[in-house]
Structure 1
């Protein structure tokens, strides 16, 4: 089975609920997507609503992956910069694949779809993303063509006494 990806799908209540479920499942499985387990959909709702507001006002784009049954299975948000000297690159946020699909190449497929989406945007020369240290995520992103361009020790506090590096990765597109 493969996932199908769409850029900027209509985000009605069922897509919102699908993203909430995905985000909670990824977080509760230990995924580094802004929360630590245990987390509920209610905990995630405000963060998702902020991302959906940016999507509605044109500040972000959504790459959405669905499984063969149409369920939300993967996401990546591409967020435009508002600073006039940095409009030539976008941030990738909330990059995640449902745990039931991990280890099957769907993460790489999501990153390929995200790269393709960014290449379709006028004036975008690169994608930047941040990842949490201690999980080896930088190695996955490097295998997708990203290069590590920065590392801030202790920038992410997962729990008292458990600080992680914030690693910045860059994928040049031009």
Structure 2
């Protein structure tokens, strides 16, 4: 059976609320497999749903754009674009919570989500993007291949399982002058 092409959408507020259980499943999967995305295992589905629910106002007002990647009706990935709101920062945004379900990794979905994030940033009038990721993670290779510039590594940035602390690496990408 042929697998359908991935569909990526920027979720409107109503669709976001309906997708919270699917987004929670992605977050739980990421945390349980070692991703440094702000939570420590074990993360329950209920706690993950509550956290996603805290974004409802920001999604409704357009301060946060949540993208959803689906294949054959199954949610396999998500990413966020957090639009800076201060008057001197309206040209930039932060990329956050780029998650691809472990069952769907190494198929190009992360690359597709990042391309969609860049397009959403352009549509929102943003050209400078920043993100951070766990130092030494697979995501670092992805961001480098996609033309992101490594800025710095911050030691002991995030707590990871067993009471240890891990470094994060900060990246940026300036979309100005780049072809979409």
Q: Calculate the TM-score normalised by the size of structure 2.
A: 0.86
Superposed CA offset, 1:147-167 (max 9, x none): 112221111121455211121
Superposed CA offset, 1:29-65 (max 9, x none): 2223222322111222332122232101221112111
After superposition, residues 113-124 of structure 1 pair within 5 angstroms as 113-122=116-125, 124=126
Name the structure where helix makes up a greater proportion of residues. Answer: 2
**1:85 maps to 2:88:** yes
**SS of corresponding position for 1:30:** coil
Q: Calculate the TM-score normalised by the size of structure 1.
A: 0.89
Q: Retained in 1: the 8 A contact 2:41–2:161?
A: no
Aligned partners of 1:114, 1:93: CA distance in 2, in Å? 10
* Alignment partner of 1:45 out of 36, 49, 61: 49
Distance 1:114 1:12, change over 3 A: closer
Aligned partners of 1:120, 1:168: CA distance in 2, in Å? 24
* Alignment partner of 2:130 out of 119, 128, 138: 128
Structure 1 residues not aligned, in runs of 5+: none
Number of residue equivalences? 172
Q: Retained in 2: the 8 A contact 1:36–1:158?
A: yes
Residue 150 of structure 2: aligned partner: 148
* Alignment partner of 2:15 out of 5, 11, 34: 11
**1:112 maps to 2:115:** yes
